[in-house]
Each structure stands twice: as C-alpha cells, then as structure tokens.
Amino acid sequence: MRTSGLIRSAMPGLGRALAPAGIAGVAGELASIGLLSTATWLLCEAARRPSLAVLAVAIVGVRALALGRGTLRYVERLRGHDVALRMVAGLRGLLFGGLVEGRARLASGDLLSRLVSDVDAGQDLLVRCLLPGITAVGTGAAVVTGIAVVDPAAGLAAAIVVLLAWLGPPLSAAFVSRRTAKRLAPLRGELAAAVADQLHGAADLTAAGAWPWLLRHTHLLGIRLAGNEKSAAGPAAAGLFLPATGAVAVLSFTRVTGPVAAALAMAAFGAVGSALPLVDAAAYWHRSIRSLGRVGSLFDVSPDEQPKAVQGTVRTLRLRSVHCGYGSGDVLSGVDLDLWPGRRVALVGPSGAGKTTLLKLIAGQLAPTAGTMIAGGRPVGPADLAASCRGVLADSHVFHRSVRANLLIARPVAGDDEVTEALHRAGLGPWLETLPAGLDTVVGEDGGRLSGGQRQRLLLARALLSDAPLLVLDEPTEGLDRATAAEVLASIVEATHDRALVVATHDLDAALFQEILDVRDGRVVRRESIRTG
C-alpha cells in the first residue's frame, strides 16, 4: 500500500484535523516575531523621548503578543499531538485489523520492536515534519509580505534570504542524513552490541583479562559515531547564521530609517529563524517516509496469500507437491499430506529435516512457493489455514498474564472447568494444584516464571482448549520423562479425536498415530500407515 493511501486510511480527514494546529502554529510564530519587532521598535523609539501615549500603545502590544505567543504555541502543541496520536492509533488499528483478516502479514524478519517504531514514525511525520513545514512557510510568507508593504526593496531582500533558509539547510540536511544514515545505523548497532557484550559478559571478561581490548574497541566505535554525527549536524549549524543574514540584508536594502528599520530587520530575523526547524524536519521526513513505507508494504499481500472464500473453516486439507521455505530457497520440497477430522499424523526425522517448517506451513505461518493446498475442493492460502489451525510451535508466545487469561486467548467463552480440564489433559494438573492463586497465577513475561516443560504444556493446554479443527504440535512433551510423556500424548489424542492432529516428535509412540512421515532434507522419504483398532 502506498504511504499516502496508508495515511488516508488510518486518518480520514487529516488535512481538516491538522488545519487548526497549523493556523495556531503560524499565529504563534507571528506573535513571537511581532513581539521581537515591537520590543525593538519600543527600545529605539524610547531613546527619542516620544509622548507616553505612543509608548503605552507599544507596551500594551508587547504584553498582548507575549501572552498570545504562549497561548497559541500551547494550542498548536495540543492540537498537533492530538491529531498525531489519533493517526498512530488509526495506523495500529488498520495494521492489526489487516493482520487478523489476512489483508496484511508480517515478514518473518519483522521484529516487533521495529514494527512498533515504524508505526510511531507516523507521529514524527506530523509533529516534526508537516507542522514545522506549515509554520515555517506560513510565517515566512506573511512576514515577507508585511515587510514588502512597508518597504518593497526590504521585502525583496527578506524574501531571498527566507527562500534560501527554506531550501538550503533542509535540502543539504536531507542529503547528508540520507548519506550518514547508511553509516550511522550499523555503527549504532555495533556500539549497542559491544555495550551489551560488556554487560552480559562482565564475569568472563574479568576472568580472561579481556577488558582492555573490548573497552578500546568500544571507545573507537564511540569516536567514529561522534565523528559521523558531527558531520550530520553540519547543515543545522550553517543554518544558524541565516537569521542574522536576513536582518543585515533588510538593513542594507531598506529605504526607511530609525526604529521602523530596526523593527523590519528583527521581523526578517524572526521569519528566517522560523525556517530553522525545517532542518530537523527534512531529516525526519526521510526516516518517517521509509518507516511508513515498511508498514505499507505489510499490506502488499499477493492474491494467493489472501483468504479465499472458503465456506466455514478448513477441516480437511490436501497438500500436493508443496515446496516452501524462508525466502532464501526452499526447505521443503514436494511434500504430500492429507488431513481430515480424526486423522493423526506423526512427523519424525533428524534435527533440521524440516518438520517444524511443515507444521508452520499447515498453521498458515509460511506460504508455499509451489504446489497446491486444497480444502473442501477449493484452493486455500496461509490466511485460511491460520484461521483454522492452532498449535504449539517454538515461537508461540506466553503472555505476561494469568494462567486463565493465557488459555482464554484460544476460546474467550470457555469456563473455568474447561480451562482446568485442558490443563489436566496437558499434564499440568498436579502443578495447578500447587499454585496458591490457582488459575489467577501470573506466569511472567513470555512465561518467564515457568520451567521450559511447563511453558510448553501451557501452550499445549491452550491449543487443546481452542476449537480449531487443525492442531499442530512441535515436540509437545519435550522435557517430560517417558512415562509422563506417553500419558500426556495419549490424553491429547483422546481429546482431539474429532480434529486433525500433526505432531513433530523425536520420541515416537507409533501406536497413537495413523500415519508416520519420515522427513529428511525437506522431503518425505518414508510413509508408514499404522492400522489402528
């Protein structure tokens, strides 16, 4: 999806919503420049000892402008951030809605943290780019017009410097930031990794006496980073001379003299100064547009990946000659598999053979690169499978919430008795009885307060509680002793007699399955059908 379309969908009527903030921004900046000019005029005029009445008007003007400046800036910040936060909320809603409905997908390399910061970049685009842009252009145009009304020659001089300030430093900042961004990002990453190494490996470094080497490496990285950041700040530093240039240009060309000339010079100083935030805006513009482009690309789901009009959920699945991988070549080649309610299939084979990859394909987490996937006589895509399949996979997440909340994610309407039964079936009954807070026990970030085996079985209980017709389990009894593992697996098979079950295991109890697929190097090399009673 294009960035402009993404923004329009996330926040319809953005222009209208942003207008009050833009107007307040320009008015606030004009009040600030008016204050500077009036105060300058007042000081110069006071030296001539005019009547008190003349000065009194200017003094009231200064007070009013000072009050107006603060109030208008407050309104601009309030309105601007309100619109920006609403837009970010809209972007999140759009993205999560798209993910749920299969109109968007996360590429496998998308880290959650990057996704969050990419969405937040929408806020920067409004608050740090668009609003400063509107304020700078509106203020500059209004002040130059004002100066030209008093003295056209001074107006022309001011216009040239203002134009220079609008274009020169921002364009060179955009150019420099584009060039340095390529060097800065890896340098920052390297520095962060070196600092993390020092923190986590402190004991080993001390024991090995390797501190001096790593400290020197970190120090050199810091120096290189500072050097690059300094050159990135060049255009902003050069821009600081421009306001004074504007004032001098007006004083050089104006035909008016005395306090009015000083006031005009200060007005030009302020108008050029109002363009300085454009330097930051230009740097942020590039970054924000790239971030939003990445968010938009998540919506570029090919027609094959979009949910098809399958009637109901996928209950039977036929894979024929399916190939699939992680973007750098196929891991699975030419896999055939048939699933239907009550079908129990075991995947066996050496580590790295492709068992998990096949489970991810069935769960709709990976798209096939070739072959067909048919359900109910129609072709289906990953989104259809994702809606019909639950399971236990290595990257399944445990939420920092209670045991109950972690299970109810699978079926929010389930009662406590069903939740407890699922936990018992997954072999967590004895553990549950030891918990003082029972189902209300909070399990820690990603199940950090659970042992590896307990975490795995909590995920298993969640999958069992769901009413998904397809279940995929990756080593569901890992970490259990043989007797308990056999008991848990038998209980799973009994609980899922009306669904299709695919289990990847290194610890096979053949009697529980109807078909065993031996996977090696991404191919099914042997297929054994077990006759069950």
Ligand X SMILES: Nc1ncnc2c1ncn2[C@@H]1O[C@H](COP(=O)(O)OP(=O)(O)OP(=O)(O)O)[C@@H](O)[C@H]1O
CB of 307 to ligand X, least distance (A): 24
Q: Interface with ligand X includes 357 (CB under 6 A)?
A: yes
Note whether 420 binds ligand X by CB under 6 A.
no
Query: To 5 degrees, how large is the angle CA 458–CA 459–CA 462?
Result: 90
* Residue 257 binds ligand X (CB under 6 A): no
Q: Interface with ligand X includes 4 (CB under 6 A)?
A: no
Would you call 264 helix, strand, or coil by DSSP?
helix
To the nearest whole angstrom, how small is the minimum distance from the Cβ of residue 115 to ligand X? 17
CB of 388 to ligand X, least distance (A): 21
The encoded tokens of residue 377 equal 């006589």
Stated as kind and residue range, the H or E segment containing 338 is: strand 330-339
Evaluate the CA torsion angle 442, 448, 450, 456 in order and state its sign.
positive
Counting beta carbons within 10 angstroms of the beta carbon of residue 196, is it exposed (0 to 12), middle (13 to 18) or buried (19 or more)? exposed
Burial of residue 482 (CB within 10 Å: 0-12, 13-18, 19+) is: exposed
Q: Does 396 engage in binding with ligand X (CB under 6 A)?
A: no
Alpha-helical (H) ranges within 11-111 are 14-46, 52-101
From CA 2, how far away is CA 182, in angstroms rounded?
23
Binding status of residue 452 toward ligand X by CB under 6 A: no
Structure tokens that stand for 156 in this block: 């022309």
Decide: helix, strand or coil at residue 509: coil
Selected from 11, 24, 65, 353, the binder of ligand X by CB under 6 A is: 353
Q: Which is nearer to ligand X, 353 or 489 (CB)?
A: 353
Q: Which residues pair with 518 in a beta bridge?
A: 348, 526
For ligand X, the closer of residues 356 and 456 by Cβ is 356
CB of 520 to ligand X, least distance (A): 9
> What is the footprint of ligand X within residues 84-143 (CB under 6 A)?
108
Query: Is residue 477 within the footprint of ligand X (CB under 6 A)?
Result: no
507 near ligand X (CB under 6 A): no
Complex with ligand X: residue 155 or 354, whichever CB lies closer:
354
Can you say whether the dihedral through the CA atoms of 279, 285, 288, 290 is positive or negative? negative
Tokens (6 digits) for 76: 């601009």
Looking at 90, 277, 354, 364, which residue binds ligand X (CB under 6 A)?
A: 354
State the nearest-atom distance from the C-beta of 112 to ligand X, in Å.
15
Quote the least distance from Cβ 389 to ligand X, whole Å. Answer: 16
Least Cβ distance, residue 452 to ligand X (angstroms) = 14
Under the criterion CB under 6 A, does residue 480 sit at the interface with ligand X?
A: no
Site string for ligand X, 322-351 (x = CB under 6 A): ----x----x-----------------x-x
Collapsing DSSP states into helix, strand and coil, what is residue 324?
Answer: strand
| Distances, alpha carbon 305 to alpha carbons 105, 383, 384, in Å | 9, 6, 9
The size of the chain, in residues, is: 533
Residues that contact ligand X, how many (by CB under 6 A): 12
Name the residues that contact ligand X, by CB under 6 A.
108, 326, 331, 349, 351-357, 504
